Amino acid sequence: MKFERRSQWSRELGQEMPFNVYGHAGKPVVVFPSSGGSHEEYADFGMIEACQSWIDRGLVQFFTPDSYDAESWLHFGKSGHDKALAHEAYERYIVNELVPLIRNETRWQGGLLVTGCSMGGYHTVNFALKHPDLFDVAVALSGVYDARFFTGEFGDDQAVYFNSPIDYLWQQKDSWFLDHYRQNRMIVAVGQGAWEEPHVYDTRRLEEAFAAKDLPAWVDYWGQDVAHDWEWWRKQMPFFLGKLEEEGRLA
């Protein structure tokens, strides 16, 4: 497997942002780490090995950037508003700097796949909903989708609101977004075992919003034995890659 350890200076964040690349060809996959995780996490927990068949066959190429959560949603000394502003700087880094680099180096002209586990699942849904022209396939595993989980009640703070999918999706009326959502592939999965209770709750609420908007998301609830843990995410991600390959979504 082709592997590169890379770094990119981010003007948006004012710092170096390391990322790893796994694979030689195929649909680019942007992986958001779990809470405060690094660019090494996905491989360290066996996720790259679990997906190796698709990498070796040139169907996907994984890009694993660092998180910025410690400066945004997980910075306990900041207000909810300031957490959201820090997150938006990270969003600009991903959209304005990392994605163009990926496109330039891979020559990939279509949409990218975005994925992540736990907090990475939150980022996956948020980025896929806010930038459906960039990310046409999303696989979110065991996420929370309500920004209150990070900020508490935020009142009428628009910076937080527009990063809380459970809130802003209900109010989305723009046909440009809705048309993209209906063309794209959204997969949201969660176990029903240990440590998954808040994630099941948010997944059900997100499912209600998709249904209310008549959006074709695949929301998949795994069994009572399926915990909030890498052991299960290593099973879920290959399962969904297989389904996406069958559907022709990796082409």
Structure token pair of residue 180: 């993209």
Is 118's pLDDT higher than 90? yes
Rounded CA separation 153/132 (Å): 27
Q: What whole-number percentage of the chain has pLDDT above 70?
A: 100
* Interval 46-83: pLDDT, tens: 999 999 999 999 999 999 999 999 999 999 999 999 99
Q: Which of 71, 49, 60, 47 shows the shortest CA–CA distance to 236?
A: 47
Q: pLDDT-based confidence at 251, cuts 50/70/90?
A: confident
Tell me what pLDDT residue 226 has: 98
Q: What whole-number percentage of the chain has pLDDT above 90?
A: 99
Count: domains in the chain: 1
Rounded CA separation 29/247 (Å): 17
Which residues, including other chains, have CB under 8 Å from residue 23's CB and lie 6 or more apart?
1, 2, 55, 58, 60, 61, 62
Query: E strands, the chain, where?
Result: 3-10, 15-22, 27-32, 60-65, 112-117, 135-141, 185-190, 218-221
3-class secondary structure, 251: coil
Domain ranges, residue 63: 3-247
Q: Which of 185, 182, 183 shows the shortest CA–CA distance to 247?
A: 185
Q: pLDDT-based confidence at 189, cuts 50/70/90?
A: very high
Which domain CATH number covers 170? 3.40.50.1820
Give the chain's mean pLDDT: 97
Helix (H) / strand (E) containing 247: helix 230-247
Which residues, listed in sequence order, are joined to residue 187 by a DSSP beta bridge? 139, 218
Q: Which amino acid is at 8?
A: Q
* Interval 219-242: pLDDT, tens: 999 999 999 999 999 999 999 999
